[in-house]
Structures are given as C-alpha cells and as structure tokens.
Structure 1
C-alpha cells in the first residue's frame, strides 16, 4: 500500500460542495430577493411621497398666483371707480370708456382691460357698471363685473 495524501475530511458525509463555483446557495438567493423587493417597496413609497409633495407645492403656487390676479383686479376696480367719478365730475355727459393697461404697467407681464358704462334704471338712479379683465399672454386669467350706484 502506497501512502496517498488525502484530506482528513474528504470522505466525511456533507463534505462535498453541491453547487457550482460562483453560484450562491438557495437561501442566500432568497434573502437577496427579499432585500431587493424591500428596497423597491421603499423606493415606491418615497417616490409617491415626493410626487405628492411636489403636487401640493404646485397647487399652492397656482393658488397664490390666482390670489395675486384677484388682488390686481380689485385694484383695477378701485382705480376705475375713481377714474369714472373724476370723469363724471368733469363731464356730466360721460357715458363710459374702455381703459387698457399695457403689460409694462402691471407686474408679471399682465395686461388689463377695464370697460366702464353708465346705466340708468328708468328713474333717477344711475349705475356705474365695471367689467375688468386681467390677461396673461392674451389669455383671460380674471374677469369680474361690478355695479356701483352713483349719487
């Protein structure tokens, strides 16, 4: 008998490796799959939260912009009333006018159109009817009509 150099554990049960080189055991692959799935779920949750926050921010910006347009329309109404009262005092036959405010006079590229008209109800009561439009890039963003009783 010639001595053969064998590993002392070569013939013990379970000493053989049943998988190919580089292939992970099935439990490790399953663990990696669960981890990948967990990461994907976290990414979906974070992405959904980010999209919701971005949408809420966009809504708030849009609401603030609309509020700014309404405030500008209120200022135009107040100015149009003052202008019409001044014109009526200067000329008793004043019947109204169209007043256009160019873009360079209003902030944010806005343009304004104010129509004033004097109406009577058949008696002695006279009304000043105001129609105010605020335009941005030729698109109406605010349109208001108001009626004021004249003395």
Structure 2
C-alpha cells in the first residue's frame, strides 16, 4: 500500500466518523424535541380535563341554586340539605356533593341568603370546591 492510498483511506474513515457523530447529534436533538412535544401535549390534555371539571362544577352549582330556590318556594320552612348526586346522573360518570344552607343575613334578619358548596368530582385528585352565597328575597 503506498502513501497516497493510505491518505485517501484515512480521509474516508474520518469522513465516516464525522458523519456518524453528526447523525447521533441530529438524533439527540430530534429526541429532545419529540420529548418536549409529548410533554406539552400531556400538559395541554391535563389542563383541558381540569377546565372540564371546573365547568361541570359550575353547572352543578347553577342547578343546586335552582333546586334550593324551587324547594324554598314549595316549602317555605326549607333550610337546606346535602344533595348527593350519583355518578349515574352526570354525563362524566363522577359523583358530586352539594351542601346548601339558608341563613339569615347578619344585619337584616328578615332577609335570607343561600349558601352552598359544591364538591366535584368526589374521590378524585382534581377535586373542585365552589362556594356561592346568593341573597333570597
């Protein structure tokens, strides 16, 4: 093997080595980008689920308000209740609890207010609690 062939062979080997290093770096960068996209998608999905839970809890609070006012209209002595909503009655398939109390307004005993607290979904890591107080005339 002459000197010229040795230089060409070494040059080709170093090019192959550089190509392998470049390929590995490109693969590393692509892997990091894909991992970041997967993480962002997971976070977006989790936020979407949390927003759905908050919206459902607000709808339950609206329904509880209507329920309490209807009960108060039909039974003037109604002072409140704990309304346990089974999973079969909610589209999400999760349970909810609503505590409703009708109390006198502190400075105006002739006026009443409805206080309620919604807990949804029961036994779920993303439990939402919504409290409302509404004057009743």
**TM more than 0.5:** yes
Question: What does 1:1-151 align with in structure 2 at a 5 Å threshold?
Answer: 14=2, 25-122=9-106, 123=108, 124-135=110-121, 138-139=123-124, 140-151=126-137
CA gap 1:15/1:35 in 2 versus in 1, 3 angstroms: closer
- Between Structure 1 and Structure 2, the one with more helix by share is 2
Between the aligned partners of 1:51 and 1:17, the Cα distance in structure 2 is: 45
Rg larger for:
1
TM-score (norm 1): 0.78
Structure 1 segments (4+ residues) deviating >4 Å:
15-18
Between the aligned partners of 1:25 and 1:98, the Cα distance in structure 2 is: 85
Superposed CA RMSD: 2.2
Alignment coverage as a number of residue pairs: 133
**Unaligned regions of 5+ residues in structure 1, if any?**
1-12, 19-23
Between the aligned partners of 2:26 and 2:102, the Cα distance in structure 1 is: 65
CA gap 1:14/1:118 in 2 versus in 1, 3 angstroms: same
8 Å contact kept, 2:68–2:80: yes
Between the aligned partners of 1:49 and 1:15, the Cα distance in structure 2 is: 45
Deviation digits for residues 83-109 of structure 1, max 9, x if unmatched?
Answer: 000111111111100001111221233
8 Å contact kept, 2:53–2:121: no
Between the aligned partners of 1:15 and 1:48, the Cα distance in structure 2 is: 44
Between the aligned partners of 1:59 and 1:84, the Cα distance in structure 2 is: 37
